[in-house]
Amino acid sequence: MPDAPSHPQRPLPRRGIERLDLMLLCAEALDLNGGEAMVWLSEEMGFTDLLPNRVELWKRRCSNPLRRTTRRDLPSPAESDALIRICTALADRLYPMLRSLLSTAEPPQLSAQRWQLFEGRLAELLKERFNLRRGGVQRLLDPQEGPTLSRELIQALAFSAGPGGFERLKASLMDPVV
Amino acid sequence: MKLTNRYEQTSCRLQVEGLPDRSAGQGDQTIGILTGFSLDLAGHTELEGQREHLQAMVAAVLPYARQLLSGVPRTCGAEGDPVAISPHSGRHQLELRSSQPDTPPLTLLLDDAELADLVRCLDQLRLDPRLALPFEQPPLQPLRRRELRHRQPLAQRVAAPLVGVGVLVLSAVVSALLPLQQRPTPAPAANPSAVSSPQRGG
């Protein structure tokens, strides 16, 4: 296991869980087998005690208040750490795609097509699993505001990819709500 | 024998050279004394430097990436440091200051992808078990509320205090308009001479 967390073991705040789940959703939008990859990575990284199957993984993600089906309880620090590690490992696998979306050296037309494809898939997943009456979901689906928010999520995935990203991502998910 | 470690990403190649520190009992494959490094940022330039330059780069770039993750990028690297990085119109301006006098600083503009490549190379360097060098960086902590404040739009930020002040002013005006309860006028001072005592008939 890479570097150990330096902060005290506190559960992620609700806003942090919301962002983490949206980042995992972006990974699923980029990779059609993203859901399967999460389960596989969880086993590969030795989290079978914490997240033994896809239902348990889904239940932890359902602490996101923007979901259609939400849970009131928050994941324990160990469970949220496992989710963060899975997210950084997924971002590592998807890094070439994340990079191509963020690069300004790509031909603009190709880049626009990639963004369109990603945003389309993300919108499908949001409509399927999230509560469309929530302001946060409406903003993500908004044609004006949505692309900026999607870009922020892709940027966050790129800067937290790999084992070195764990501490960075965790610290940002613990940010207080303003 | 000189050892060389390489860390590569699409637009970034970092190469460090050094020797094992025998006095610290390090193995043959461990770099404990860094003799130099070269950093090739594709499309920009190739940099060379010493250990302190590399440490300054880690100390500036990784905290900057941490700030970016919270959506509030700010300049990392102090005035006299060899490396500083700051946000610059949607990109990231990396400033490399030479220790040679009269040499102007080298400024590079990186996009998100190039910066992510550099961050990944520095992460690989920092976590490489073949490297026994301290790459100190401030502990990664959640930001303070005031550091995140400008992430919220100005209108939302000032709405609550404005409503509070408005309610205070309104209540002050309303209370000023309310008629004051008239105090009962005190009875004129009793003047025994002016008051005629009721005469009793009889």
pLDDT digits (tens, 9 = 90+) for B126-178: 999 999 888 777 777 888 877 777 666 677 778 888 999 999 999 999 988 88
> Taking CB atoms and an 8 Å cut-off, how many pairs form between chains A and B?
93
Confidence of residue A23 (pLDDT cuts 50, 70, 90): very high
Contact B69 A163 (CB under 8 A): no
Q: What is chain A's Cα-based Rg?
A: 16
Of A6, A7, A158, the CB nearest to B116: A158
- For B33, how many CA atoms within 13 A lie in the half-sphere containing its CB? 12
pLDDT in tens, A106-145: 999 999 999 999 999 999 999 999 999 999 999 999 999 9
Of B111, B139, B148, the CB nearest to A175: B148
pLDDT at B24: 82
Q: Would you state the structure tokens that stand for residue B72, as one six-digit string?
A: 């509030």
Residue A138 belongs to a domain: yes
Of B70, B111, B122, the CB nearest to A172: B70
Confidence of residue A8 (pLDDT cuts 50, 70, 90): low
Measured CA distances, B49 to A84, A166, B33, B97, B160 (Å):
35, 29, 14, 11, 52
Burial string for B93-129 (b: 16+ CB within 10 Å, else e) reads ebbbbeeeeeeeeeebebbbbbbbbbbbbbbbbbebe
pLDDT at B125: 94
Comparing alpha-carbon positions, the chain B residue that sits nearest to A92 is: B120
Confidence of residue A6 (pLDDT cuts 50, 70, 90): very low
Compute the distance between CA of residue B53 and CA of residue A98 in angstroms, rounded to an integer.
Answer: 29
Give the whole-number percent of chain B exceeding pLDDT 70.
Answer: 89
pLDDT at A62: 94
pTM confidence score: 0.83
What are the chain A neighbours of B141 within 8 Å (beta carbons)?
7, 171, 174
Q: Residues of B at the A interface (Cβ-Cβ below 8 Å)?
A: 10, 43, 62, 65-66, 68-71, 111-117, 119-120, 122-124, 126-127, 139-145, 148-149, 151-152
* Mean of the per-residue pLDDT values of chain A: 92
Residue B159 belongs to a domain: no
Q: Does position B2 have pLDDT exceeding 90, yes or no?
A: no
Contact B124 A164 (CB under 8 A): yes
Q: What is the mean pLDDT of residues A38-45?
A: 94
Compute the distance between CA of residue A117 and CA of residue A114 in angstroms, rounded to an integer.
Answer: 5
Residue B103 belongs to a domain: yes
Domain that holds residue A51: 14-169
- Beta strands B33-41 and B3-9, pairing class: unpaired
Strand, coil or helix: what is B19? strand
Residue B191 belongs to a domain: no
C-beta atoms surrounding B188 within 10 Å: 7
DSSP H or E run through B88:
strand B83-88
The contacts of residue A48 (CB under 8 Å, 6+ apart) are: A42
Give the whole-number percent of chain B exceeding pLDDT 90.
Answer: 48
- Beta strands B91-96 and B83-88, pairing class: antiparallel
B45, B60 Cβ separation under 8 angstroms? no
What are the chain B neighbours of A165 within 8 Å (beta carbons)?
123
Counting the structural domains of chain A, the total is 1
Residue B158 belongs to a domain: no
pLDDT at B199: 56
Strand, coil or helix: what is B107? strand
Residue B140 belongs to a domain: no
**Residue A99 Cα to chain centre, angstroms:** 16
A160, A87 Cβ separation under 8 angstroms? yes
- How far apart are the CA of A98 and the nearest CA of chain B, in angstroms? 8
- Beta strands B45-49 and B83-88, pairing class: unpaired
- How far apart are the CA of A126 and the nearest CA of chain B, in angstroms? 22
Residue A127 belongs to a domain: yes
- Beta strands B33-41 and B12-19, pairing class: antiparallel
Residue A8 belongs to a domain: no
Compute the distance between CA of residue B66 and CA of residue A168 in angstroms, rounded to an integer.
Answer: 5
Domain that holds residue B112: 3-133
Residue B35 belongs to a domain: yes
How many helices and strands in chain A, by DSSP H and E? Answer: 9, 0
Of B112, B127, B149, the CB nearest to A155: B112
Confidence of residue B194 (pLDDT cuts 50, 70, 90): low
Comparing alpha-carbon positions, the chain B residue that sits nearest to A102 is: B113
B60, B85 Cβ separation under 8 angstroms? yes
Burial string for B1-35 (b: 16+ CB within 10 Å, else e) reads eebebebebbbbbbbbebebeeeeebeeebbbbbe
Compute the distance between CA of residue B110 and CA of residue B118 in angstroms, rounded to an integer.
Answer: 10
Laid out side by side, the sheet with B106-110 consists of: B83-88, B91-96, B106-110
What are the chain B neighbours of A103 within 8 Å (beta carbons)?
111-114
Counting the structural domains of chain B, the total is 1
A169, A84 Cβ separation under 8 angstroms? yes
Residue B91 belongs to a domain: yes
Compute the distance between CA of residue B106 and CA of residue B85 in angstroms, rounded to an integer.
Answer: 12
- More confident: B193 or B120: B120
Q: Would you state the structure tokens that stand for residue A97, as one six-digit string?
A: 């795609």
Compute the distance between CA of residue B116 and CA of residue A95 in angstroms, rounded to an integer.
Answer: 9
What are the chain B neighbours of A155 within 8 Å (beta carbons)?
68, 112
Contact B127 A103 (CB under 8 A): no
Residue B49 belongs to a domain: yes
Q: What is the ipTM of this complex?
A: 0.91
Q: Does position A159 have pLDDT exceeding 90, yes or no?
A: yes
Q: Residue B98 carries which DSSP code?
A: -
Residue A9 belongs to a domain: no
- How far apart are the CA of A51 and the nearest CA of chain B, in angstroms? 26
What are the chain B neighbours of A175 within 8 Å (beta carbons)?
70, 142-143, 148
Q: Kindly report which listed range (A169-173, B25-29, B65-69) carries the lowest average pLDDT score.
A: B25-29
Tell which of B8, B64, B112 to mutate to test the A interface (max A CBs under 10 Å): B112
- How far apart are the CA of A29 and the nearest CA of chain B, in angstroms? 19
